[in-house]
């Protein structure tokens, strides 16, 4: 009677399976964290525990309790209410900034892929030059030139992340353009615009979704940095970066004021990065063989 060794793993349960499992976990955890941020932002339109802009001198620097769940700042404003409205500010800036980046970067990437080779290479070398600068640094430089304000912050963050969209979309478009069904469509007389709309864009949509998640995480950091430097959302509208700025003078006497918004930024960025990793495993055709 033969026996099966217990140390032999079932066929197919190798690194690819573990990789897929990690991708699903990342997708679930990242989605849950992002959902928490979105929920806080949506709820803030209808309800917050207190008025986030109300200054109460009698409630300055109160610790966490039944009335103020996370306490108050040095102006007596409720931290939870500021976090919720700050989440709304972050989501608003992030959505518009990523929308601007996608609106400019996707057509640029597709056009660079479909243009004559020399022109496409020229466009991408200029794009790579911009990519050499971190998106956060580009956003700060643009905001410093254009001035302060929410609109300026959104444009600066969006423009600074265009090169990443263009590079990813161009790479995906080149892969699609070399496929047999695109060659057949061209042989059948379909023009460049038809190929781009009916074949290229649908096949790079997954890459755009993944890049949007990554760029959203960059937008969260950039919005916080711009607000911290005074180029972002102006007062009295709460934002996580402004909360960090206002806590700077009390960093050692009451670090809670800095820890609370810092944790909020970290949770949002971590959630978006995990979500991007999970989406990449599902949508990026270059990972198909590894799942």
Answer yes or no: is 204 within a domain: yes
What integer pLDDT is reported at residue 170 of this predicted model?
A: 95
What does the alpha-carbon distance between residue 72 and residue 257 come to, in Å, rounded to a whole number? 8
Answer yes or no: is 10 within a domain: no
Q: Within its chain, how far is the Cα of 158 from the centroid?
A: 11
Radius of gyration of the chain (CA): 23
251 in Cβ contact with 258 (< 8 Å): yes
Answer yes or no: is 171 within a domain: yes
Answer yes or no: is 233 within a domain: yes
Answer yes or no: is 76 within a domain: yes
Answer yes or no: is 2 within a domain: no
Per the structure, how many domains does the chain have? 1
Answer yes or no: is 5 within a domain: no
What does the alpha-carbon distance between residue 100 and residue 159 come to, in Å, rounded to a whole number? 7
User: What domain range includes position 189?
Assistant: 17-290
What integer pLDDT is reported at residue 289 of this predicted model?
A: 40
What integer pLDDT is reported at residue 184 of this predicted model?
A: 87
Answer yes or no: is 3 within a domain: no
What integer pLDDT is reported at residue 290 of this predicted model?
A: 42
What does the alpha-carbon distance between residue 221 and residue 209 come to, in Å, rounded to a whole number? 19
Can you give the pLDDT of all 291 residues of the chain as single tens digits?
A: 444 444 444 555 555 555 567 778 999 999 999 999 999 999 999 999 999 999 999 999 999 999 999 999 999 999 999 999 999 999 999 999 999 999 999 999 999 999 999 999 999 999 999 888 888 888 888 888 888 888 989 999 999 999 999 999 999 999 999 888 888 888 888 888 888 988 899 999 999 999 999 999 999 999 999 999 989 988 889 999 999 999 999 999 999 999 999 999 999 999 999 999 999 888 754 544 444
Domain of 86, CATH number, reads 1.10.3720.10
What integer pLDDT is reported at residue 17 of this predicted model?
A: 56
């Amino acid at each position: 009677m033969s026996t099966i060794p217990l140390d032999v793993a079932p066929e197919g349960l190798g690194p690819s399976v573990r990789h897929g499992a990690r991708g699903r976990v990342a997708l679930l955890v990242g989605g849950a964290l992002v959902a928490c941020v979105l929920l806080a932002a949506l709820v803030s339109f209808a309800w917050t525990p207190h008025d986030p802009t109300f200054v109460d001198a009698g409630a300055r620097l109160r610790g966490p309790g039944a009335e103020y769940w996370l306490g108050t700042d040095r102006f007596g404003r409720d931290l939870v209410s500021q976090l919720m409205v700050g989440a709304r500010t972050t989501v608003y800036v992030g959505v518009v900034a990523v929308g601007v980046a996608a609106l400019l970067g996707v057509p640029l990437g597709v056009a660079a892929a479909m243009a004559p080779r020399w022109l496409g290479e020229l466009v991408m070398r200029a794009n790579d030059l911009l990519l050499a600068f971190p998106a956060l640094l580009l956003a700060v430089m643009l905001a410093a030139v254009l001035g302060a304000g929410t609109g300026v912050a959104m444009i600066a963050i969006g423009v600074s992340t265009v090169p990443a969209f263009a590079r990813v979309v161009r790479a995906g478009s080149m892969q699609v353009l070399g496929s047999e069904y695109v060659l057949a469509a061209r042989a059948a007389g379909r023009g460049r615009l038809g190929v781009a709309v009916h074949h290229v864009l649908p096949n790079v949509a997954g890459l755009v979704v993944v890049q949007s998640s990554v760029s959203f995480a960059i937008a969260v950091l950039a919005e916080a940095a711009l607000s911290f430097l005074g180029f972002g959302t102006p007062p009295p509208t709460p934002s996580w970066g402004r909360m960090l700025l206002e806590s700077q003078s009390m960093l050692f006497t009451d670090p809670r004021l800095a820890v609370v918004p810092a944790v909020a930024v970290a949770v949002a960025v971590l959630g978006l990065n995990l979500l991007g990793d999970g989406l990449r495993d599902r949508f990026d055709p270059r990972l198909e063989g590894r799942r």
